[in-house]
Amino acid sequence: MAEQMMAADGRPLKASLNRALRRQKIRALALIAPLLLFILISFVMPIADMLFRSVENEIVENTLPRTVVALQDWDATSGEAPDEPVFNALYTDMALAVEYKSHTRLGSRLNYETTGISSLFRKSGRRISRFDTDAYTDAFTAADPAYADPVQWAAWMDDDALRAKLPLTTSAYDGWEKMIVEAEGDVPTEEQPWDFVYTALYNDGVNGAELPIAVDVSQIEPVSIRAQFSDVDDDWLDPDVWQTIKTYSPTYTNGYFLNSVDLMKGAEGVEQRPENERIYIVLFIRTMIMSLSIMGMCVLLGYPIAWLLANLSARTANLLMILVLLPFWTSLLVRTSAWKVLLQQQGVINDVLVWIGIVADDNRLELINNQTGTIIAMTHILLPFMILPLYSVMKTIPPSYLRAAKSLGATNWTAFWRVYFPQSVPGIGAGCILVFILAIGYYITPELVGGTKGVFISNRIAYHISSSLNWGLAAALGTILLAIVMALYWAYDKIVGIDNVKLGG
Amino acid sequence: MKITMKLMATSCLTLTAAMANADGHMANEMTIVSWGGAYSASQQAAYHDPYAEKTGVNIINDESSAEAVAKLRAMNEAGNVTWDVVDVVASDAIRLCDEGLALEIDADTQLADGDDGSKASDDFGDLLVSDCFIPQIVYSTTVGYRSDMVGDNAPTEICALFDTETYPGKRSLEKRPINNMEWALLCDGVAKDDVYDVLETEEGQAQAFAKLDTIKDDTIWWSAGADTPQLLADGEVVMGSTYNGRLFALIEEQKQPVAMLWDAQVFDLDGWIIPTGLSPEREARALDYVMFATDTQRLADQAKYISYGPARKSSAPLVGKHAELGIEMAPHMPTDPENAKNTFLYNYEWWADYRDDLDAKFQAWLSQ
């Protein structure tokens, strides 16, 4: 057996080497740890959290927990609104939601799917405290004063046997107790339960449960909660409203994603949205086409400039470089606003064209508030992102190659096309990726100069984040946009190869 | 489980940010959010400066009112409200109140009485459109036109917007349904009192869109209050809607060849709300501020700098001359009887209910 090699400290050399390597790895990890943590915490997690909203849909279940359960037995294809028990559950849920002020948010959420629900919830929220259910409260307290005693109620609701007998009452009382403490800051043993708890008690009684103090519920005049709701608004009897509530009751939904591609959930599965609401696919396609055009314009304009910069003497090149960098350092808003002044119908460019006589004064060109405006302004803004990588790659191509080609008999064009151009492709690749990915996500410039026809999908995302507050839809649109960029990047890697991209020498 | 982890990590992050912010938020500092431009300047002169002088509070201005609802909702979700007082329009105040994001105010105990001895609730009267809303000014959205581009045939009524034969050229309208839908119906023959009843129906909405379709290609859609004045000054549009104060500045301060219509002007309100979820000290200071900033004298003072009507009845007699131009301000107020002859009453409640529906439809219509 060969003798083991020993290190100076007497350990086996192999173990010692492994230890040193491990220590080195840990040190390397420790060095990048701050950055890794920073990226994870400030970048990856918030984005993941935001994207998660595209499928998250807890609001229905959280706001209307009892209704969601009661609705499970309802047949959506019956063409009829649900019966009394569902409305009873809705009454309890809504009465609580109004106190938490969460019913308007739920209304807004469901309104994304069926217009009109938002106003329905707001209206009902304002009216719910004036329902005729105080008749139940009066009837029970008249039958036995103990029913008006908060302490007595608390005692009943501590009794597990009683709780099991009165499922509706227990659920309503628990909700009420939680609300009284959380939203009102009161003590449950000092407050008489609200009307909806008595309504639940009545319903338990009608269902044949044994009440804590016997009351003949058949003597109490019933109040139809269904009629109460339909008095507020007929829409409560519209099965479409209930269909929407039922369809969107699960915790997770694909509704936002369907909406992002102009589809929706109908009674019989997924269907197309009405024609006047289909806008997103058009916008996605427009965003792609316009970003590609901007990228193409940048290559066309940027390539000769980069070539010139790379082939001039250092002094002149530096001077010209400043002309590229100066606009690059100028604020985005300033440059966009400048284009507004230049391009508008009474603007500098039109004035010059009229003065030269190319266009008639009463027929000035429409260069802004449309796609032309977006393409011109964004090409200008993104041009440096094309020129800089092109320049740094061209700088490394030895001029002697071109001279060699020519001395071997190539024409100028052949020399350029066969010798120079292939070597500049990595720069074009880098520039194209940069410009395209930046363009696809732009929203300030299109917003300012794009009018209604020259806006991108990102303008809709911004709109849903800050104006319509439909964050779920914004997240779904963002996810799709991200997926498209990834897919294109992957395709680029397959076709051109990402190794062929160079940002510098 | 992964999601829980993620959420926990995010909340840890917001918590750290909140703590950092709580430390950074000095005891004697408050953030007031408004709309910027001449409007914020008028508030600075009329409220902020005197209040800072009186109490030594350092006031930080934020100009995010246009996105106030979204930002307040986000702050509320993150559990870190960094704003103390926010200037919003009435419909946003109703929305924020409905969602529990704005503090409910008792006008008579938490706002100053009028100089003439009237209780605040009487002095503000109908303008207290929501329990959370502390009214400040009455402004109106109306139409300005280039007086040099309409020839001898100056428009006198709002329907000139839809009359592209008599008034060829571009128009600028706001990029949202409010006001545009109402004007479209008015100019399509719907009686003023029926506008909201008609707009409530599918057919009514289709009718309004059909009317707007007739000028869709001639319209530049604006989203910032400064857009229309700029477009008018450049001669890009022949007429456009905007706030009366902006037109006042354009006409009186910048002396542009622009005139304005006082027809079917849409009254709207602007005022303060206090976000919920502030610490007791910050809340008390915010309440103290709004009590100071909405008393009779302060509201009248603001009218020296901008042509918006004070929201208190008792302030009206105190409205004087413009601070720099020296012209009487009263005839430029939207509330002046001469200007208010043919106003359109904007229905906040209705818009609070239908905003979501119509916004979606309007945005889809715009994109097509």
**Parallel, antiparallel, or unpaired for β B219-222 and B342-344?**
unpaired
Residue type, B316: A
Per-domain residue ranges of chain B: 29-138+269-332, 141-267+343-367
- Min Cα–Cα distance to chain A from B201, Å: 11
A11 and B CB contact within 8 Å: no
Report the alpha-carbon distance of residue B37 to residue A348 in Å, rounded: 27
The superfamily (CATH) of domain B141-267+343-367 is Periplasmic binding protein-like II (3.40.190.10)
A272 and B CB contact within 8 Å: no
Taking an 8 Å cut-off on Cβ atoms, the answer to whether B6 and A466 are in contact is no
Structure tokens at A409: 């008999």
Interface of B with A in 213-252 (CB under 8 A): 220-221, 223, 234-236
Indicate if the pLDDT at residue B20 is higher than 70: no
- Min Cα–Cα distance to chain A from B149, Å: 13
Report the alpha-carbon distance of residue A108 to residue A110 in Å, rounded: 6
Contacts of B67 in chain A (CB under 8 A): 466-467
A371 and B CB contact within 8 Å: no
Taking an 8 Å cut-off on Cβ atoms, the answer to whether A468 and B360 are in contact is yes
Q: What is the DSSP letter of A56?
A: B
Nearest beta carbon to residue B368 from set A100, A104, A279: A279
Confidence band of B19 (pLDDT split at 50, 70, 90):
very low
The mean pLDDT of chain B is 89
Indicate if the pLDDT at residue B13 is higher than 60: no
| Nearest-5° Cα angle at A286, A436 to A481 | 60
pLDDT at B25: 52
Phi, psi angles (nearest 5°) of residue B30: -140, 145
Report the alpha-carbon distance of residue A346 to residue B236 in Å, rounded: 6
Report the alpha-carbon distance of residue A496 to residue B151 in Å, rounded: 62
**Is-contact A436 A386, C-beta < 8 A?**
no
B6 and A CB contact within 8 Å: yes
Taking an 8 Å cut-off on Cβ atoms, the answer to whether B356 and A111 are in contact is yes
Q: Which conformational region is residue A145 in: left (phi greater than 0), alpha (psi within -120 to 50 degrees), or beta?
A: alpha
Nearest beta carbon to residue A49 from set B6, B170, B353: B6
Taking an 8 Å cut-off on Cβ atoms, the answer to whether B360 and A42 are in contact is no
Taking an 8 Å cut-off on Cβ atoms, the answer to whether B7 and A118 are in contact is no
Confidence band of B24 (pLDDT split at 50, 70, 90):
very low
pLDDT tens digits, A210-254: 888 888 888 899 999 999 999 999 999 999 899 999 999 999 999
Taking an 8 Å cut-off on Cβ atoms, the answer to whether B361 and A276 are in contact is yes
Nearest beta carbon to residue A101 from set B13, B98, B170: B98
Phi, psi angles (nearest 5°) of residue B263: -120, 130
**Is-contact B233 B139, C-beta < 8 A?**
no
A351 and B CB contact within 8 Å: no
**Is-contact A454 A393, C-beta < 8 A?**
no
This prediction has a pTM of: 0.87
**Is-contact B278 B286, C-beta < 8 A?**
yes
**CA distances from residue B329 to B226, B261, B306, B309 in whole angstroms, order as listed:** 21, 17, 8, 9
Q: What is the 3-state secondary structure (H, E, C) of A251-314?
A: CECCHHHHHHCCEEEECCEEEECCHHHCCHHHHHHHHHHHHHHHHHHHHHHHHHHHHHHHHCCH
- Min Cα–Cα distance to chain A from B351, Å: 9
Q: What is the DSSP letter of A212?
A: S
Taking an 8 Å cut-off on Cβ atoms, the answer to whether A468 and B359 are in contact is yes
Contacts of B9 in chain A (CB under 8 A): 41, 45
Q: Which chain B residue lies closest to A40 (C-alpha atoms)?
A: B9
Instruction: Over range B289-306, report the average pLDDT.
Output: 94
pLDDT tens digits, A66-86: 999 999 989 888 888 999 999
Q: Which chain A residue lies closest to B168 (C-alpha atoms)?
A: A362
Closest C-alpha to A250, from A17, A59, A41: A59
pLDDT at B22: 47
Q: What is the 3-state secondary structure (H, E, C) of chain B?
A: CHHHHHHHHHHHHHHHHHHHHHHHCCCCEEEEECCCHHHHHHHHHHHHHHHHHHHCCEEEEECCHHHHHHHHHHHHHHCCCCCCEEEEEHHHHHHHHHCCCECCCCHHHHCCCCCCCCCHHHHHHHHCCCCCCEEEEEEEEEEEEECCCCCCCCCCCHHHHHCCCCCCCEEEEECCCCCHHHHHHHCCCCCHHHHHHHHCCHHHHHHHHHHHHCCHHHEEEECCCCHHHHHHHHCCEEEEEEEHHHHHHHHHHCCCCEEECCEEEEEEEEEEECECCCCHHHHHHHHHHHHHHCCHHHHHHHCCCCCCEECCHHHHHHCCECCCCCCECHHHCCCCCCHHHEEECCCHHHHHHHHHHHHHHHHHHHHC
pLDDT tens digits, A288-328: 999 999 999 999 999 999 999 999 998 999 999 999 999 88
- Min Cα–Cα distance to chain A from B88, Å: 14
Total Cβ atoms within 10 A of residue A191: 14
Taking an 8 Å cut-off on Cβ atoms, the answer to whether A115 and B67 are in contact is no
Q: Which chain B residue lies closest to A447 (C-alpha atoms)?
A: B223
**Is-contact B147 B262, C-beta < 8 A?**
no
pLDDT at B10: 52
Please classify residue B221 by burial: count the beta carbons closer than 10 Å to its beta carbon, then call 0-12 exposed, 13-18 middle and 19+ buried: middle
**With respect to CATH, is domain B29-138+269-332 assigned 3.40.50.1100?**
no
CB neighbours of B6 closer than 8 A, spacing ≥ 6?
A45, A48, A49, A52
- Min Cα–Cα distance to chain B from A277, Å: 6
Contacts of B221 in chain A (CB under 8 A): 451-452
- Please report which helix (H) or strand (E) contains residue A498, including its range: none
Q: pLDDT above 70 covers what percent of chain B? A: 93
Indicate if the pLDDT at residue B18 is higher than 60: no
CB neighbours of A11 closer than 8 A, spacing ≥ 6?
none
Confidence band of A116 (pLDDT split at 50, 70, 90):
confident
pLDDT at A504: 63
B166 and A CB contact within 8 Å: no
Report the alpha-carbon distance of residue B72 to residue B28 in Å, rounded: 22
pLDDT at B1: 41
Please classify residue A492 by burial: count the beta carbons closer than 10 Å to its beta carbon, then call 0-12 exposed, 13-18 middle and 19+ buried: middle
Distance linking the first and last C-alpha atoms of chain B? 43
**CA distances from residue A336 to A206, A446, B204, B214, B331 in whole angstroms, order as listed:** 70, 9, 39, 30, 38
Nearest beta carbon to residue B9 from set A41, A116, A279: A41
pLDDT at A275: 80
Taking an 8 Å cut-off on Cβ atoms, the answer to whether A463 and B368 are in contact is no
Taking an 8 Å cut-off on Cβ atoms, the answer to whether A452 and B221 are in contact is yes
Which has the minimum average pLDDT: A259-273, A349-363, A454-468, B250-264? A259-273
Closest C-alpha to B43, from B63, B28, B69: B63
Q: pLDDT above 90 covers what percent of chain B? A: 70
**Parallel, antiparallel, or unpaired for β B258-260 and B170-174?**
unpaired
Q: ipTM beyond 0.90?
A: no
Max CA pair span of chain B: 73
Nearest beta carbon to residue B236 from set A346, A452, A469: A346
Nearest beta carbon to residue B356 from set A42, A108, A451: A108
Rounding to the nearest 10 degrees, give the CA dihedral for residues A195, A201, A202, A207.
150
Contacts of A119 in chain B (CB under 8 A): 353-354, 357
A346 and B CB contact within 8 Å: yes
pLDDT at A505: 54
Report the alpha-carbon distance of residue A130 to residue B364 in Å, rounded: 38
Instruction: Over range B14-23, report the average pLDDT.
Output: 47
Report the alpha-carbon distance of residue A406 to residue A180 in Å, rounded: 90
Closest C-alpha to A375, from A287, A463, A279, A284: A287
B366 and A CB contact within 8 Å: yes
Nearest beta carbon to residue B365 from set A102, A276, A463: A276
Report the alpha-carbon distance of residue A108 to residue A118 in Å, rounded: 5
Enumerate domains of chain A plus CATH numbers. 10-53 (no CATH), 60-275 (no CATH), 279-500 (1.10.3720.10)
pLDDT at A2: 57
Q: Which conformational region is residue B89 in: left (phi greater than 0), alpha (psi within -120 to 50 degrees), or beta?
A: beta
Interface of B with A in 69-88 (CB under 8 A): 69-71, 73
Taking an 8 Å cut-off on Cβ atoms, the answer to whether A276 and B99 are in contact is no
Decide if B29-138+269-332 and B141-267+343-367 have a common fold.
Answer: yes
Contacts of B360 in chain A (CB under 8 A): 111-112, 115, 277, 468
Taking an 8 Å cut-off on Cβ atoms, the answer to whether A467 and B359 are in contact is yes
Q: Which is more confident, A184 or B132?
A: B132
Q: What is the DSSP letter of A209?
A: P
**Is-contact A74 B322, C-beta < 8 A?**
no
Distance linking the first and last C-alpha atoms of chain A? 54
Phi, psi angles (nearest 5°) of residue B174: -70, 145
- Substitution target from B170, B212, B351, B367 for chain A, most A beta carbons within 10 A: B367
Indicate if the pLDDT at residue A39 is higher than 90: yes
Nearest beta carbon to residue A116 from set B6, B70, B357: B357
Please classify residue B88 by burial: count the beta carbons closer than 10 Å to its beta carbon, then call 0-12 exposed, 13-18 middle and 19+ buried: buried
Report the alpha-carbon distance of residue B346 to residue B195 in Å, rounded: 10
Contacts of A452 in chain B (CB under 8 A): 221, 366-367
Distance of CA B24 to the CA centre of its chain: 31
